[in-house]
């Protein structure tokens, strides 16, 4: 959704010049670099090597030991290319101590042109012994002026390897050229970088100077120095991010003048009286925090975190009714059309009797209903609007927006959150997430918010029973599903893809639904996925909720928020394709009523891989059988996959750091956070996270 831009914009200050100031970078290459997020010299300097090759061991041929990575400098004695189509290239050289041969199995055309007999070259690679002679296969190579100076860019040093792309390679920025470009950038610009950390802070945190970090990140004198350099830059990055969070919170608070919304005496009590259940103590205490926030002129800036099924919606409705009674309009934003429609249906049934006007803005509504809805929002006639990011469109204007509620906040970027927020004078803000987020991520994603946690789920819930099964057990699995259906329950079957590709068996929802119809005769199978028109999606969901359809073949569009208490079975096909946190969310779709819920994770051995990979997948998935607590799972998932993957690209909201690594850098994060909030002279948000 590309909203993250400004939040990602950290770069080294003093190095804001465009990359075109560098030799060899014209419009073509600049465009290719922009494609990977590199526009300035600073961006380039922050472009972290994917890994390093330690070619610092320079030795003589005679002392090179088989199995070791070495660099030797030899004079070429003989060079030969095979006859095409073979691309093999071979050369023989000596450094006076002994002879050595080098073999490449591709690139002979380039190599033949590159090497001439008599050239002095440094070659790096792993030493092998072949037919009694020392040999390097596919060595990295570099020309050397004279035997005394092999000090290398590509050899003879710890050498960086950068993530390349086809687009970069097309402009000639292949690994060697890219490395040369980095050398130029570092040599020319590292000294120009403005180090904003004072000496005392650096000393306390054991961080190197910025200039040194920029050199050592790319061309480390020792491997360990590269990590020290990364940490220094990671701190700067985290600090910049925390400064922005502090600034965002301060500017919201500074604008002040949020509507004062006293506790509701009319709407909330009459809604509560008709609720089929009573609020849990956890819901009551979170509600009390929110009610207290709303009654103050300073804007509420609160995150409500609670595991799947913990009952966040009820709390949100309570807040919404309080706001409406206080004379404000309320906007509720959900990440998917499905969820928006579900909230709308629920609210309509609850709030219709209270005489409130509610609208839905998601996807393509009809022209006239949409016009009426927009009109009602602008003139204040509509009390509540539920929608997707369609709410962010400029045409959506409010007369008195007093409360913004964002459900499943982790699906939106920080930018989107703020965009909706800006539609009102200074509305109160409540964001909710079911993704239990480890502290380190919470402090980045939500570092500007106060936190409320729903610690317990409604009573009487049985933990979902989870099983991991290989695809070969399919018959038994669907036998079980049929039994559940016969008992009057409903089932989800989740597939990773919408349409079939040839390599996948039962991987697509379209093909899968057909097979399900065969295996579950007598039951109706509905299909929902992201490419269906919104109206059709909503219709199928309603049929599933009402029981006209008993089996829902679907993609991960049901991952968040969907609430059909009669569903007891969740089958996930190709479960190995999903992350643990995501599977936990999916599993949270069942076990929402009184009946026992079941989750079956069906895994397939990777195509072409042996059994061991299948076993690894099963072992990973087995975590879900033992752990029912979303927080513990999230931590495990984060450790297994790293932050970017964990949240998914779209969900990171600008926290795909270039250099910081969470949770590893948590110590740096805490320091950066303390520093940023100290500078801002602002009170840090209340945070009672572990
Ligand atoms: P989530 O936190 O995942 O958004 P929901 O708000 O959708 O959870 O609630 C999950 C289910 O629990 C819903 O069917 C809801 O009606 C029900 N529920 C919520 N609060 C209670 C409660 N206090 N007692 C019983 N059921 C509740
Ligand atoms: Mg929810």
Q: How far is CA 45 from CA 52, 68, 198, 206, 224, in A?
A: 16, 31, 21, 21, 19
Nearest to 69 by CA among 79, 58, 85: 58
Ligand 1 centroid from CA 689, angstroms: 23
Query: Coil, strand, or helix at residue 161?
Result: strand
563 CB within 6 A, ligand 1: yes
Ligand 1 centroid from CA 308, angstroms: 9
Lowest mean pLDDT among 357-366, 576-585, 612-621: 612-621
* pLDDT reading at 27 higher than 80: yes
Lowest mean pLDDT among 277-291, 430-444, 478-492: 430-444
Q: Give the residue, by CA position, lying nearest to ligand 1 atom 26.
A: 458
Q: What are phi and psi of 339, to 5 degrees?
A: -70, -40
Q: How far apart are the first and last CA of the chain?
A: 31
pLDDT of residue 438: 66
Atom index in ligand 1 nearest the CA of residue 279 equals 23
Q: How far is CA 655 from CA 210, 255, 559, 636, in A?
A: 22, 26, 22, 19
pLDDT of residue 225: 94
Query: Coil, strand, or helix at residue 431?
Result: strand
306 CB within 6 A, ligand 1: yes
Query: Coil, strand, or helix at residue 114?
Result: helix
Is 122 in contact with 155 (CB distance < 8 Å)?
yes
* pLDDT reading at 146 higher than 70: no
Ligand 1 centroid from CA 471, angstroms: 33
Is 340 in contact with 387 (CB distance < 8 Å)?
yes
Confidence of residue 645 (pLDDT cuts 50, 70, 90): low
Confidence of residue 4 (pLDDT cuts 50, 70, 90): very low
Is 395 in contact with 633 (CB distance < 8 Å)?
no
279 CB within 6 A, ligand 1: yes
* pLDDT reading at 249 higher than 60: yes
Lowest mean pLDDT among 146-160, 173-187, 246-260: 146-160
Q: Which residues have CB under 8 Å from 535's CB, separation 6+?
A: none
Is 66 in contact with 100 (CB distance < 8 Å)?
no
Confidence of residue 8 (pLDDT cuts 50, 70, 90): very low
pLDDT of residue 569: 97
Sort 684 into a burial class: Cβ within 10 Å, 0-12 / 13-18 / 19+. middle
Beta-bridged to residue 128, according to DSSP, are: 135
Q: What are phi and psi of 335, to 5 degrees?
A: -80, -20
Ligand 2 centroid from CA 438, angstroms: 19
Q: List, for residues 126-137, the tens digit of each pLDDT value.
A: 999 988 889 999
pLDDT of residue 572: 96
**Cis status of the peptide bond prior to 85, with omega within 30 of 0:** yes
Q: How far apart (Å, rounded) are the C-alpha atoms in residues 245 and 616?
A: 39
Q: List, for residues 493-540, the tens digit of each pLDDT value.
A: 999 888 866 655 557 898 899 999 999 999 999 999 988 888 888 899
More confident residue, 170 or 455: 170
Q: Which residues have CB under 8 Å from 664's CB, separation 6+?
A: none
Ligand 2 centroid from CA 186, angstroms: 49
342 CB within 6 A, ligand 1: no
Starting from the CA of residue 306, give the closest ligand.
1
* pLDDT reading at 656 higher than 90: no
434 CB within 6 A, ligand 1: yes
Q: Give the residue, by CA position, lying nearest to ligand 1 atom 9.
A: 311
Confidence of residue 644 (pLDDT cuts 50, 70, 90): low
pLDDT of residue 521: 93
Atom index in ligand 1 nearest the CA of residue 314 equals 6
Q: What are phi and psi of 515, to 5 degrees?
A: -65, -40
Q: Which residues have CB under 8 Å from 635's CB, separation 6+?
A: 438, 663
Q: Other C-beta atoms within 10 Å of 41: how many?
A: 28
Ligand 2 centroid from CA 651, angstroms: 16
Ligand 2 centroid from CA 313, angstroms: 6
Q: What is the mean pLDDT of the chain?
A: 86
Starting from the CA of residue 308, give the closest ligand.
1
pLDDT of residue 415: 67
Ligand 1 centroid from CA 227, angstroms: 46
Task: Work out the widest C-alpha separation in the chain, in whole angstroms.
Answer: 96
Starting from the CA of residue 305, give the closest ligand.
1
* pLDDT reading at 612 higher than 90: no
Q: List, for residues 389-437, the tens digit of each pLDDT value.
A: 899 899 999 999 999 999 977 666 666 777 777 787 789 999 998 766 6
Nearest to 189 by CA among 175, 208, 210: 210
Ligand 1 centroid from CA 411, angstroms: 20
Q: Give the residue, by CA position, lying nearest to ligand 1 atom 27.
A: 458
Q: Domains in the chain, start-ordered, CATH in brackets?
A: 19-53+162-221 (no CATH), 57-156 (2.40.50.140), 267-454 (3.40.50.300), 465-627 (3.40.50.300)
pLDDT of residue 651: 39
User: Of 110-114, 151-155, 668-672, where does the model show the most confidence?
Assistant: 668-672
272 CB within 6 A, ligand 1: no
**396, 401, 405, 410 alpha-carbon torsion, rounded to 10°:** 50
Q: List, for residues 191-212, the tens digit of each pLDDT value.
A: 999 998 989 999 998 999 999 9
310 CB within 6 A, ligand 1: yes
Atom index in ligand 1 nearest the CA of residue 308 equals 3
Average pLDDT over residues 440-456: 78
Pocket test for ligand 1, best of 311, 461, 587 (most atoms within 8 A of CB): 311
343 CB within 6 A, ligand 1: no
Q: Which residues of 234-251 are buried (b: 16+ CB within 10 A; e: fewer)?
A: bbbbbbbbbbbbbebbbe
Q: Is the dihedral of CA 512, 513, 516, 518 positive or negative?
A: negative
User: Of 153-157, 535-539, 606-610, 614-618, where does the model show the most confidence?
Assistant: 535-539
Lowest mean pLDDT among 67-81, 108-122, 383-397, 586-600: 108-122
Ligand 1 centroid from CA 292, angstroms: 22
554 CB within 6 A, ligand 1: no
Q: What are phi and psi of 372, to 5 degrees?
A: -65, -40
Q: Other C-beta atoms within 10 Å of 254: how many?
A: 10
Confidence of residue 608 (pLDDT cuts 50, 70, 90): low
**pTM score of the predicted model:** 0.69
Strands (E), 82-151: 89-94, 99-104, 120-130, 133-137, 140-143
């Amino acid at each position: 959704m590309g909203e993250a831009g400004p939040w990602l914009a950290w770069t080294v200050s003093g190095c804001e010049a465009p990359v075109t100031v560098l030799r060899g970078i014209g419009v073509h290459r600049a465009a290719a670099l922009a494609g990977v997020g590199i526009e300035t010299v600073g961006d380039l300097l922050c472009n972290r090597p994917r890994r390093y090759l330690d070619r610092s061991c320079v030795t003589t041929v005679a002392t090179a030991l088989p199995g070791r990575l070495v660099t030797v400098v030899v004079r070429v004695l003989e060079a030969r290319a095979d006859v095409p189509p073979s691309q093999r290239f071979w050369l023989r050289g000596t450094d006076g101590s002994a002879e050595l041969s080098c073999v490449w199995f591709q690139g002979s055309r380039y190599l033949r042109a590159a090497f001439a007999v008599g050239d002095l070259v440094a070659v790096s690679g792993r030493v092998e012994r072949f037919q009694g002679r020392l040999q390097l296969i596919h060595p990295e190579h570099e020309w050397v002026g004279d035997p005394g100076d092999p000090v290398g860019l590509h050899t003879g040093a710890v050498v960086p390897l950068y993530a390349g792309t086809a687009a970069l390679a097309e402009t000639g920025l292949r690994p060697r050229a890219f490395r040369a470009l980095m050398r130029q950038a570092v040599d020319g610009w590292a000294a120009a970088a403005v180090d904003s950390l004072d000496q005392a802070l650096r000393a306390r945190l054991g961080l190197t100077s910025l200039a040194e970090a920029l050199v050592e990140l790319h061309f480390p004198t020792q491997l360990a120095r590269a990590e020290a350099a990364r940490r220094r830059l990671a701190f700067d990055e985290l600090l910049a991010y925390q400064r922005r969070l502090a600034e965002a919170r301060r500017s919201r608070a500074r604008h002040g003048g949020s509507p004062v919304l006293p506790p509701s005496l009319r709407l909330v009590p009459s809604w509560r009286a008709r609720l089929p259940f009573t609020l849990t103590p956890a819901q009551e205490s979170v509600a009390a925090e929110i009610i207290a926030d709303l009654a103050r002129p300073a804007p509420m800036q609160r995150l409500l975190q609670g595991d799947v099924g913990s009952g966040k919606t009820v709390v949100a409705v309570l807040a919404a009714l309080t706001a409406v009674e206080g004379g404000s309009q309320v906007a509720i934003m959900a990440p998917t059309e499905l969820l928006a429609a579900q909230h709308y249906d629920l609210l309509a049934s609850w709030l219709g009797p209270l005489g409130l006007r509610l609208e839905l803005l998601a996807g393509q509504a009809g022209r006239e209903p949409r016009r009426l809805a927009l009109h009602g929002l602008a003139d204040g006639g509509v009390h509540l609007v539920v929608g997707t990011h369609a709410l962010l469109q400029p045409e959506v204007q409010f007369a008195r927006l007093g409360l913004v509620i964002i459900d499943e906040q982790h699906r939106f970027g920080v930018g989107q959150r703020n965009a909706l927020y800006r539609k009102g004078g200074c509305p109160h803000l409540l964001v909710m997430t079911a993704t239990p987020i480890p502290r380190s991520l919470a402090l980045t994603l939500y570092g500007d918010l106060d936190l409320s946690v729903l610690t317990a789920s409604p009573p009487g819930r049985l933990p979902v029973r989870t099983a991991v099964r290989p695809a070969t057990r399919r018959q038994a699995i669907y036998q079980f599903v049929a039994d559940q259906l016969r008992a009057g329950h409903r089932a989800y079957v989740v597939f990773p893809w919408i349409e079939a590709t040839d390599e996948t068996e039962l991987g697509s929802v379209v093909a899968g639904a057909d097979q399900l119809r065969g295996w579950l005769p007598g039951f109706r199978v509905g299909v929902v996925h992201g490419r269906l028109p919104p109206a059709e999606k909503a219709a199928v969901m309603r049929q599933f909720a009402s029981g006209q359809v008993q089996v829902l073949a679907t993609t991960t569009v049901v991952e968040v928020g969907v609430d059909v208490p009669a569903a007891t079975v969740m089958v996930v096909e190709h479960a190995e394709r999903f992350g643990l946190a995501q599977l936990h969310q999916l599993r949270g779709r069942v076990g929402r009523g009184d009946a026992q819920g079941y989750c079956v994770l069906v895994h397939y051995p990777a195509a072409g891989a042996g059994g061991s990979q299948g076993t690894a997948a099963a072992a990973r998935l087995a975590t879900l059988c033992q752990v029912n607590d979303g927080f513990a799972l999230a931590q495990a998932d984060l450790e297994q996959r790293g932050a970017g993957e964990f949240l998914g690209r779209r969900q990171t909201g600008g926290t795909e750091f270039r250099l910081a690594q969470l949770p590893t850098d948590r110590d740096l994060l805490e320091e950066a956070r303390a520093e940023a909030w100290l500078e801002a002279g602002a009170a840090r948000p209340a945070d009672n996270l572990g």
